[in-house]
Amino acid sequence: MGVPPYISIYPRYIAGAIWTHSPRTEVLYQTIDQVRTSFDAAWNLWSTADLLLLIAGMIVPGKYLGGTPISIREARQLFSHECISHIPKLLVGPWARFGCGLEGGKISLSSEVLSPPFDYIVSGDAEIFMRDVILSGDLESVPSDIMRENMTEIEKYAVRGARIVTQHPGYQRKHLICEIETYRGCPRFITGGCSFCVEPSYGMPQMRDSNDIAREVEALYTIGVRAFRLGRQADMFTYGSTEIGLEEFPSPNPEAIEDLFSRVRHVAPYPLALHIDNVNPGTVAHHPAESRQVARIIMKYHTVGDVAAFGVESLDSEVKRRNNLKVDAEEALKAVRIINDVGAEAPPWELPHLLPGINLLYGLPGESRRTLEYNMEFLKTLLEEGLMVRRINIRQVIGFEGTRLGRTRYARIRRKAFYRHKQEIRSKIDIAMIQRVAPLGTVIHSAFVERVEGNSLLLRPLGSYPLLCHMPQGRNMPGVTDVFVVSHGPRSVSVLPFPFSIHNATLAQWKSIPGIGAKRAARLKGAVSWKSIAEIESALGIEIPSWLARTLRFQKQTN
């Protein structure tokens, strides 16, 4: 996750390796969206460098609000300019290791499509490559596929590289969340893992020590970072498991997870966000007691609105069999129930503590029109049982080099059928689900303005899968504010500032409240002074619901 407001491990590890072995070297970091503001300014800056590195590629396809990943065309254009032709150029990250995945539903292109303009395609670990380049003084002598042997090799780099985040465009606003690596690889590597996944290619998972993770978080927290996601692993619930390498679904180790989270929270006592990401639903289904214990431990230390992203992928038994997926429909349902049992509780008027997220993946071998029906039936069952999931990701697979899927040719579901299916989920499942997760009046704390669209603001809190919030612009709107929910869309909510000052409210804000309408909004806006809820109810002939009444403030706000 390198799209703002996230910053991934890559720039931090690489900068840390350089500063560890060459402390006086100046390292400059830019996002592609910063570069897009002026290519000429970028080229002028880059022409003074000794080395250029592009970190590029995404393993999971998606659309992002915070920025747009670089394209192959842009990479060629940017790094082919004559003013930087004399500077060695390195391609690192997922594009270099797994090939250039462009979008879901397509096979990735070989990284060689970018050679030239790149002189070196570093398919190994870029921080280890840079370490050896600095120590040897020779780019040519270091194998481009060199990998770290264990996690201890990167611990100094993770700490020393923390200060590179001060160059991130979100740093000054504190609109920044750092992805923290807990381990690399997938415990299911012993069975080959899922057909499309790159994690099994790392072999036996490499686990980071909780002390080392805490030291990295402390370094980031000390320089002002307040949001973290312990998310760079295949399954958060198996961190520290003693059965990794022995069992396909290793038993969770609650003591190890308690140790990790307690250490992190000790060095980062007041986070805006402390969330997780991937959880294998198979782990939860196979080890329900330990999984409940782990969920409670996470809830003890995290911040609310957390998401355990379940890689369900498909509820079609044939697709599961042919792609070695994690769970069948019964196991997936069991896992959702377990996380709901523990994590669906919420502080008053806030989001639930910890909910599952469902990842559905299309374009896998074995699919048929029945696949769409099986997936829809599963989602309808969640609604019928009163269960909650925070979000449903609907993606088309990218076929990467080094995975079994990358070598497979097969028939896919027709594009029109896929998009009809996607729209059915959005209209029949998503809206009902988001109404459960964030009912009217739910308060979302510290929502940041990400974009202005016409007279509306798009806001999101920092977090693992933050709710997208639409809000009419108001007077003197701050860049970050608490908000409350006034209506629901399929993947977003409409909100107003919390608390809601009736004397400062705009006409558009009043109109966005259910039951108010244009005429009542005009009367509310036009009145000189309202002194009580009872006065408003009497004048307008309506009853103010309790969720709205608790948000209203009658004192004028001054700035």
Categorize the per-residue pLDDT at 559 as very low, low, confident or very high, splitting at 50, 70 and 90: very low
- Is the distance from CB of 307 to CB of 357 less than 8 angstroms? yes
pLDDT tens, position by position, 443-482: 999 999 999 988 899 999 999 899 999 999 877 778 899 9
Beta-ladder partners of 559: none
Mean pLDDT is lowest, of 28-32, 101-105, 142-146, 275-279, for 101-105
Amino acid, res. 551: T
Q: How much is the mean pLDDT over the chain?
A: 92
pLDDT tens, position by position, 403-428: 667 656 555 778 899 999 999 999 99
pLDDT score recorded for residue 558? 47
Contacts of 19 (CB under 8 A, 6+ apart): 25, 27, 160, 161
E strands, 296-391, are 306-313, 354-362
> Is residue 225 helix, strand or coil?
coil
pLDDT tens, position by position, 528-550: 688 889 998 888 888 999 999 99
Does 1 have pLDDT greater than 70? no
E strands, 456-537, are 456-461, 468-472, 480-488, 492-497, 500-501
pLDDT tens, position by position, 140-191: 999 999 999 999 999 999 999 999 999 999 999 999 999 999 999 999 999 9
- Is the model more confident about 231 or about 141? 141
- Is the distance from CB of 303 to CB of 261 less than 8 angstroms? no
Categorize the per-residue pLDDT at 49 as very low, low, confident or very high, splitting at 50, 70 and 90: very high
pLDDT score recorded for residue 107? 65
Does 303 have pLDDT greater than 80? yes
Output the six-digit token pair for 329.
């429909």
Q: 231-263 burial, b for 16+ CB within 10 Å, e for fewer?
A: bbbbbbbbbbbeebeebbbbbbbbebbbbbbeb
| Percent of the chain scoring above 90 in pLDDT | 76
Contacts of 197 (CB under 8 A, 6+ apart): 186, 403
Mean pLDDT is lowest, of 190-204, 240-254, 397-411, for 397-411
Q: DSSP string spanning 30-89?
A: --HHHHHT-HHHHHHHHTT-S-EEEE---SS----SS--PPPHHHHHHHHT-GGGTTS-E
Rounded distance, CA 533 to CA 133, Å?
Answer: 69
Does 402 have pLDDT greater than 70? no
- Show me where the domains of the chain are located: 7-151, 170-436, 443-553
Compute how many other C-beta atoms are within 10 angstroms of the C-beta atom of residue 349.
15
Mean pLDDT is lowest, of 4-8, 212-216, 323-327, for 4-8
Rounded distance, CA 282 to CA 327, Å?
Answer: 6
CATH H-level, domain 170-436: superfamily: tm_1862 like domain (3.80.30.20)
